[in-house]
Chain A
Amino acid sequence: MHNKTLAEIIAGLNSGAFSSVEITGHLLNRIRQLDPQYNSFITVTAEAALASAEAADRQRASGNAPLFCGVPIAHKDIFCTNGVRTSCGSKMLDNFVPPYDATVVENFAQAGAVILGKTNMDEFAMGSSNETSYYGPVKNPWDVNCVPGGSSGGSAAALAARLTPGATATDTGGSIRQPAALCGVTGLKPTYGRVSRWGMVAFASSLDQAGPMARSAEDCALMLNAMASFDPRDSTSIDREVPDYTANLNQPLSSLKIGIPKEYFGEGLNPGTEQAVREALTEYEKQGATLVDISLPHSHLAVPAYYVIAPAEASANLSRFDGVRYGYRCEDPKDLRDLYMRTRGEGFGDEVKRRILVGAYCLSAGYYDAYYRKAQQVRHLIKQDFVDAFATVDVIMGPTSPSPAFAFGAKGDDPVAMYLEDVFTIATNLAGLPGMSLPCGFVDNRPVGLQIIGNYFDEGLMLNAAHQFQRATDWHQRAPEGLE
């Protein structure tokens, strides 16, 4: 039952093959039994989940069931949930219970979904290995000695371990796609503005975007149908009709032009990863698509630009955690300065502090032009690379991350090596473009992700391309041994 996709669960609930209480109960049991090994959940809301499953079953019996009625999913612990602790993976918010729902949470509630709990993540979404979580690292279900990727590592691992059939996630520089790749699941970061950021704890506001994670492209399409909306509470939300993302999944790919950026196949790419990606591209050719060699000449500037812009925005976004109104407050502050220094010193982990310091430095008088302004100029060039590329191709494909999952601690002492994990994903965030990752093979029993980058609002086309690949292959159906 836990192997079922969202589409299969919806069909099963519709046909009466099983009830929401049954599948919800089954997954909650599984989480109770297995998650101690993976640590993919920070909070499991078992009681509330069963109560809403019961309510969903009644609603379904009354003949008025919305799409996700009774379908269990999990939310990344970055989305505010009314009455349920929202920690963002940080000691700073360990005691924080929001009095409001994120729009994404609201949208799923309206669609009838049952929430199993809140998934683990890198602290404030800062990390590519889930090692920065205050609640301890998430283990990769394919190899518990390896990281699941980050920052949405909890969502990805929970999917791989068959603890949930769908999970929300967020992506600021690759935080949906890289863990999806490392855990062998499918994840989509939509166009910036497609999904509301209201109620999503901010990391870097101009880059943050929420998206679905599931075990198939079809499931991602179903989830995106529920998630995406224009939200007047988010000034960067885009007022544009939400299409039915499942509508075009079965279009043939015979006229599809796929851009292959030479910069994504250079030095630093694991040979096994490259081989898996090349074989996936061959499958696309087999389906009639055309591969076109392209160049994204400013690709090498994406990581440095990102590590100026994202920390700069984060340094301001995280200033509100000051111990005055909510969240962690140090014991017995002796004065205001002490309150600030110790609250923030004790409440934040090292990686968060590192980024706040980097960000504050880049914005400081005398450095702003050299760092922040320059990075914004680079951002513009990177966006232009994509605009030029999409003049000739429909989608761009390449590896999601340079190598498969690595061992815990392998990059712990070297932030730059960790930052290079996102070398292929960051540019799309800087450009605001949609990107997705889907399983396309293995290296030493560790999954490899194929990345698809689309033009603005081309999520439908990307999902179509991914779905057609998944119809012809079974990489996405593979489960870690013992978790089938």
Chain B
Amino acid sequence: MQWETVIGLEVHVQLATQSKIFSGASTAFGAEPNTQACAIDLAMPGTLPVPNEQAFRDAIMFGLAIDADIARTSMFERKNYFYPDLPKAYQTTQLEKPIVGRGHVDIELADGSKKSIRIHHAHLEEDAGKSLHEGSFEIHGHGMTGIDLNRAGTPLIEIVSEPDMRNAEEAVAFARKLHSIVTSLGICDGNMSQGSMRFDVNISVRPKGSDTFGTRTETKNLNSFKFMEDAIALEVERQIDLIEDGGKVIQETRLYNGDTKQARAMRSKEEANDYRYFPCPDLLPIVFEDDYIEQIRQSLPELPDARRDRFIEQYGLSRYDANSLSGDAAVAQFFQTAAAGSDAKLAANWIMGELSARLNAEDRVIQDSPVSADQLAGMIARLKDGTISSKMAKQVFDAMWNGEGDADGIIEARGLKQVSDSGAIEALVDDVIANSPQQVDNYRNADDAKRPKMLGYFVGQIMKASKGQANPQQVNDVLLEKLNALL
């Protein structure tokens, strides 16, 4: 039987606010446990939440970016469940009146086809703390669970898609597009390894052509695109095998382990909590005036699609290159800085090629690149004006990567300047021709078609004589001219 996969995503996006959604404590990542949790985050008796306006602005920006309805009146509910890292024993979240209503996110697939993924809604909520389980935390030699409440109260938007995706590629493209949108808006730092974006994937399968949904499972808390792709493949295969073997998929929550590449069931629907949602009486409904929303709309930064189109228009990039460079806001910024001081196409090639490979190899993001956009621009300028060859440029890049400074200084220090002086090059060419009578004869006697292949020998000799510093293009030109004169 032919099977069709149906995928919907719930995405938790940590907002890049300075302070928490209902308290003044800092949201910075990586502090000592429980040093960024105030009395409100600890749910001390008598403490009360005060909403952080920036979280509303961020959520509204997201809503406007996906062409969604913005609720004119929004409210918070309490979602009740007991867990040690949930201090109030309820999560303040939104159910009946989420701040962002229906919208859509448009994705582009590898084959160039496009698809619009509908967003059901997006709501604001607070994150929980973290439980540090046995093994990672010990007291008096006993395994214990430690609670770190630094993350408790960090603002999130949870984005809920419709089940519009039909394979892992679409799901990953959607996830990447969301990443691109929220980082372009500046509402999230996009740092997946620190949990700034976390994906819950709802997956079901059905016979191709069927118009009813199969029973779905939810694989929770995936924090990389690669894990998401792998987890979807694994779960789809598991469900199809299960059904083809006469079994039934049961509705459950699953956990995927990226290290072992395995997933396990966490809890079934029967074990699910009754969360007893009700409106939070400590927080009044929030009303947004049209002016307020309009003012946010006016201040929206450039979004990924517009930026891609502009890159094609302004820099003459291919659609593929423009897509690659416009998706991540930081990459786009890097590209623009590099291109402004040099050459757009060269900058594009270097960023997508060498720089991206080096960053990937060291698992770094472009914000942490040892080579700055200005430095790259400086190197490309020397490449473009012929001071250095492509081969030299790789050496310069390596040196910059290792912190040896700007291109000009490195070129100077290493004596990397390529010889573009035509007199010097002519002399080199003449020497090699004079010293290679046999090869010159062969060249002369060869067919027109074979001659170009015979140039390599001469070029090699000339470059060797110049210690690699002759401008290869110039060498080619002069050599051809002089050899042809001998015909």
Q: Are A96 and B45 in contact (CB under 8 A)?
A: yes
CA distance A263 to B48 in the complex (A): 37
Complex contacts, B3 vs chain A, CB 8 Å: none
Q: Is A457 an interface residue (CB 8 A)?
A: no
Q: Count of chain A residues with Cβ under 8 Å from any Cβ of B?
A: 42
Main secondary structure of the interface of A (DSSP, over half): loop
Residue of A313, A324, A326 touching B44 (CB-CB under 8 A): A326
Q: Are A93 and B276 in contact (CB under 8 A)?
A: no
Q: Are A199 and B46 in contact (CB under 8 A)?
A: yes
Stretch at the interface among A21-29, A97-105, A274-282: A97-105
Q: Are B51 and A235 in contact (CB under 8 A)?
A: yes
Interface string of A90-117 (1 = CB under 8 A from B): 0001001011101000000000000000
Complex contacts, A86 vs chain B, CB 8 Å: 45-46
Q: Are B89 and A235 in contact (CB under 8 A)?
A: no
Stretch at the interface among A214-222, A359-367, A395-403: A359-367
Residue of A88, A324, A336, A360 touching B276 (CB-CB under 8 A): A360
CA distance A198 to B277 in the complex (A): 23
Given that A316-B78, A336-B84 are known contacts, is A80 also in contact with B147, CB under 8 Å in the complex? no
Nearest chain A residue, comparing its CB with the CB of B90? A316
Q: Are A100 and B82 in contact (CB under 8 A)?
A: no
Q: Are B80 and A319 in contact (CB under 8 A)?
A: yes
Interface string of A345-370 (1 = CB under 8 A from B): 00000000000000010011100100
Q: Are B43 and A364 in contact (CB under 8 A)?
A: no
Scoring A200, A205, A234, A322 by chain B CB atoms within 10 A of each residue's CB, the highest score goes to A322
Give the contacts of B245-299 with A (CB-CB under 8 A): 274, 276-278, 281-284
CA distance A264 to B445 in the complex (A): 123
Nearest chain B residue, comparing its CB with the CB of A325? B42
Nearest chain B residue, comparing its CB with the CB of A93? B45
Q: Is B50 an interface residue (CB 8 A)?
A: yes
Q: Is A204 an interface residue (CB 8 A)?
A: yes
Q: Is A430 an interface residue (CB 8 A)?
A: no
Complex contacts, B278 vs chain A, CB 8 Å: 312-313, 316, 363, 368, 372
B226 smallest CB distance to A (angstroms): 33
Q: Are B44 and A235 in contact (CB under 8 A)?
A: no
Q: Are B44 and A100 in contact (CB under 8 A)?
A: yes
Given that A322-B82, A322-B89, A324-B84 are known contacts, is A235 also in contact with B49, CB under 8 Å in the complex? yes
A343 smallest CB distance to B (angstroms): 11
B47 smallest CB distance to A (angstroms): 7
Q: Is B88 an interface residue (CB 8 A)?
A: yes
B81 smallest CB distance to A (angstroms): 9
Q: Is A233 an interface residue (CB 8 A)?
A: yes
Residue of A96, A233, A236, A364 touching B274 (CB-CB under 8 A): A364
Complex contacts, B45 vs chain A, CB 8 Å: 80, 86, 88, 93, 96, 98, 201-202, 320
Q: Count of chain B residues with Cβ under 8 Å from any Cβ of A?
A: 29
Q: Is B39 an interface residue (CB 8 A)?
A: yes
Nearest chain A residue, comparing its CB with the CB of B275? A365
Given that A235-B284, A313-B281, A324-B84 are known contacts, is A365 also in contact with B274, CB under 8 Å in the complex? yes
Q: Is B87 an interface residue (CB 8 A)?
A: yes
Residue of A102, A232, A324 touching B46 (CB-CB under 8 A): A102
Q: Is A197 an interface residue (CB 8 A)?
A: yes
Scoring A313, A324, A326 by chain B CB atoms within 10 A of each residue's CB, the highest score goes to A324
Q: Is A340 an interface residue (CB 8 A)?
A: yes
Complex contacts, B51 vs chain A, CB 8 Å: 235
Q: Are A232 and B50 in contact (CB under 8 A)?
A: yes
CA distance A205 to B78 in the complex (A): 13
Q: Are B87 and A325 in contact (CB under 8 A)?
A: yes
Nearest chain B residue, comparing its CB with the CB of A339? B84
CA distance A17 to B458 in the complex (A): 116
Give the contacts of A223-258 with B (CB-CB under 8 A): 232-236
A84 smallest CB distance to B (angstroms): 13
CA distance A330 to B47 in the complex (A): 24
CA distance A294 to B44 in the complex (A): 44
Nearest chain B residue, comparing its CB with the CB of A201? B45
Give the contacts of A177-222 with B (CB-CB under 8 A): 197-202, 204-206
Complex contacts, A236 vs chain B, CB 8 Å: 281-282, 284
A38 smallest CB distance to B (angstroms): 26
Complex contacts, A322 vs chain B, CB 8 Å: 82, 84, 89
A220 smallest CB distance to B (angstroms): 23
A109 smallest CB distance to B (angstroms): 16
Q: Nearest 5 A-B pairs (CB), nearest first? A: A319-B89, A206-B281, A363-B276, A205-B281, A199-B46
The contact sample of 16 A-B pairs, CB cut-off 8 A, is: A80-B44, A197-B46, A198-B48, A201-B45, A205-B281, A206-B281, A233-B48, A235-B48, A315-B80, A316-B88, A316-B90, A322-B84, A324-B87, A340-B82, A360-B80, A363-B278
